[in-house]
A and B are shown apart, each in its own frame.
Chain A
């Protein structure tokens, strides 16, 4: 079966099961005793995957842990073989899956370059030609003749990466290894990857960093439960993937909440029994008695929900998109000169933002009966992470009516990998002066 001229990789309908042994029957005794019943479970990892990669194209494989993306890469590397289906590759393949394979601690950095590069299939002549580049890239000139066991782990990885990245391959397979060394070295590695791509090398990259894939790859392939769920331009595929991931986290969070609620209900039921029946029947079901809640309770927060444009009542918000917080209340008696406040905290305790209706100079209002207060946020500036929110109703310059700490927890997801607490709106402008 021939390959098409323009393709570097053709994968056709590969399937792969792993046998998960209850315990390994590598010993003769076990092989004989349990000849008929080698206990293992078959776990289907890949269930019919087909794709093609053109020469010079860079493709990113994305998906949750255990979705089969690393297995696909291992199959391409020929470390393992598919149960059915075919894989064809055209050109010299180099895989950056394991760094520093065959490094010997007692040998010098220089000697290890030779051993390691030999494992990648380079001949002595080829290694000689690359030696200076490799040493320069690793920034280990002074230490190159010391035994590798004297290296720090950072130096070790730098050397390993320098060898791996200087192996000229037609097809380069990379598994999640651009996270080597300090930030400066990482940037250097990434730039080198771009150079490699520009030189026409075909790249297949497995990464959790969608940003990296967007910067490097022409196409993303999203693998979900052993099948290709979607493929296309990274910027088109990733939003769908992000939504899916958010849904998954939300579902998990929902489950956790339900369990907690069940536990809390159990506790509450017991308390009720013990304490006889007080006015507790008045309590709204959604908001439970909580030590993190205080105030004179002339009015109460009955429920809180988070909305985003595409979904009501969610627990995941997207960075940079609009969001709404709806606070529903019930006043048992009239609260004069009321004020609402919110405080947002990151899960490490950083107070990200806090404000209230007085600070925001809303006109004074009184609370009677029930109703809701909605906070609209445009372009949520929070970055990826877990957050919680305090919500309060106050009256007359800060007397707490219902101060509810940790009233709601939520996640923020982001498609960019900015760092810090919040997004600062900005633009860049480069001005070059000649001479």
Chain B
């Protein structure tokens, strides 16, 4: 356990260099380049606002903000899983030929997605401030906490699925549908109170429910999230990270032979 942390710490420069390469490579060759990091979430906001304010009226006040503050964290989470599941396969040449702690690959991918989310949050804050909706400084103190919890959760999932995909390549395609279903099972486009009471148990099991609820409390309701929500998210996050790492450790022994 301690050895694992030390090993990854020793390879920190490799993590940074992969993150740098990923961030730089993401929009390489495009005309707008890095601007896409900001334009993308903005355009998504426009689309969702057009649809939900004019066609599907939800009857929620300032719906576009309600949606936006939940959508950006979700995009980070789902992107980390759908993209992260391919990192080992994608680096098969390196995995087959040299040693490094294999965790470095999903870790670097999660970090680069996370950094991307942080950039998107610049847009979130711009929208909150320019629309006159405003923020609550006290509540904002909890934002880094929930971000770290979500990061832990996403890392756990990236470890799990990147390792599984090596053995079962169909996962790349299955995950696309799975994440769509997961999105609808998470209170992103609707609020938690809209879920029928009898199904609430299922929704509680979904680790993303408490994560999204916490984001929304902080940014939309402008109040500190309930301590239970945070605790639930944190516990599920850590549990999933441990499961992810245990499975990863187990499966990584044969990576070089399976690739």
Do A and B actually bind?
Answer: yes
Q: Interface of A with B (CB < 8 Å)?
A: 18-19, 26-29, 31, 74, 77-81, 93, 95, 97-98, 101-102, 104, 114-115, 117-124, 127
Quick check: is B128 within 8 A (CB to CB) of the other chain? no
Cα A31 to Cα B168 with chains together (Å) = 8
User: Which one of B13, B94, B256 lies within 8 Å of A80 (CB-CB)?
Assistant: B256
Cα A28 to Cα B256 with chains together (Å) = 20
Q: Which residues on the B side are within 8 Å of A124 (C-beta)?
A: 13, 16
Determine if A123 and B99 form an interchain contact, defined as CB atoms under 8 angstroms apart.
no
Cα A118 to Cα B19 with chains together (Å) = 12
Quick check: is B98 within 8 A (CB to CB) of the other chain? yes
B113 to chain A, nearest CB (A): 20
Determine if B170 and A28 form an interchain contact, defined as CB atoms under 8 angstroms apart.
yes
A39 to chain B, nearest CB (A): 16
Quick check: is B10 within 8 A (CB to CB) of the other chain? yes
Q: Which residues on the A side are within 8 Å of B13 (C-beta)?
A: 114, 117-118, 121-124, 127
User: Which one of B17, B97, B168 lies within 8 Å of A101 (CB-CB)?
Assistant: B97
Across the A-B interface, the 8 shortest Cβ-Cβ residue pairs: A98-B97, A28-B170, A118-B13, A118-B14, A118-B17, A81-B253, A26-B169, A77-B99
Cα A102 to Cα B13 with chains together (Å) = 13
Quick check: is B197 within 8 A (CB to CB) of the other chain? no
Quick check: is B133 within 8 A (CB to CB) of the other chain? no
The number of residues on chain B lying at the interface, defined by a beta carbon within 8 Å of a beta carbon of chain A, is 26
User: Which one of A78, A102, A118 lies within 8 Å of B99 (CB-CB)?
Assistant: A78
Asked whether A18 and B168 contact (CB < 8 A) given A115-B21, A118-B14, the answer is: no
Asked whether A98 and B257 contact (CB < 8 A) given A26-B169, A118-B17, A123-B13, the answer is: no
Q: Interface of B with A (CB < 8 Å)?
A: 10-14, 16-17, 21, 93-100, 167-170, 174, 253-254, 256-258
Interface centre among B14, B96, B99, B257 (most CB of A within 10 A): B99
Determine if A119 and B98 form an interchain contact, defined as CB atoms under 8 angstroms apart.
yes
Cα A31 to Cα B94 with chains together (Å) = 26
Determine if A121 and B170 form an interchain contact, defined as CB atoms under 8 angstroms apart.
no
Determine if B14 and A79 form an interchain contact, defined as CB atoms under 8 angstroms apart.
no
Asked whether A115 and B17 contact (CB < 8 A) given A26-B169, A27-B169, the answer is: yes
Q: In this complex, what residue of A is CB-closest to B165? A: A26
Q: Which residues on the B side are within 8 Å of A98 (C-beta)?
A: 93-94, 97-98
Determine if A101 and B94 form an interchain contact, defined as CB atoms under 8 angstroms apart.
yes
Determine if A26 and B98 form an interchain contact, defined as CB atoms under 8 angstroms apart.
no
Q: Which residues on the B side are within 8 Å of A122 (C-beta)?
A: 13
Determine if A79 and B96 form an interchain contact, defined as CB atoms under 8 angstroms apart.
yes
Q: Which residues on the B side are within 8 Å of A77 (C-beta)?
A: 98-99
Q: Which residues on the A side are within 8 Å of B14 (C-beta)?
A: 118-119, 121
- Selected A-B contacts with CB under 8 Å, 20 pairs: A19-B257, A26-B168, A26-B169, A28-B174, A29-B170, A31-B168, A77-B98, A79-B99, A79-B256, A80-B253, A80-B257, A98-B93, A98-B98, A115-B17, A115-B21, A117-B13, A118-B11, A119-B94, A121-B100, A123-B12
Cα A104 to Cα B91 with chains together (Å) = 13
Cα A120 to Cα B254 with chains together (Å) = 21
A275 to chain B, nearest CB (A): 61
Determine if B10 and A121 form an interchain contact, defined as CB atoms under 8 angstroms apart.
yes
Cα A74 to Cα B98 with chains together (Å) = 8
Q: In this complex, what residue of B is CB-closest to A93? A: B99
Determine if A28 and B168 form an interchain contact, defined as CB atoms under 8 angstroms apart.
yes
Cα A81 to Cα B255 with chains together (Å) = 10
Q: Which residues on the A side are within 8 Å of B167 (C-beta)?
A: 26
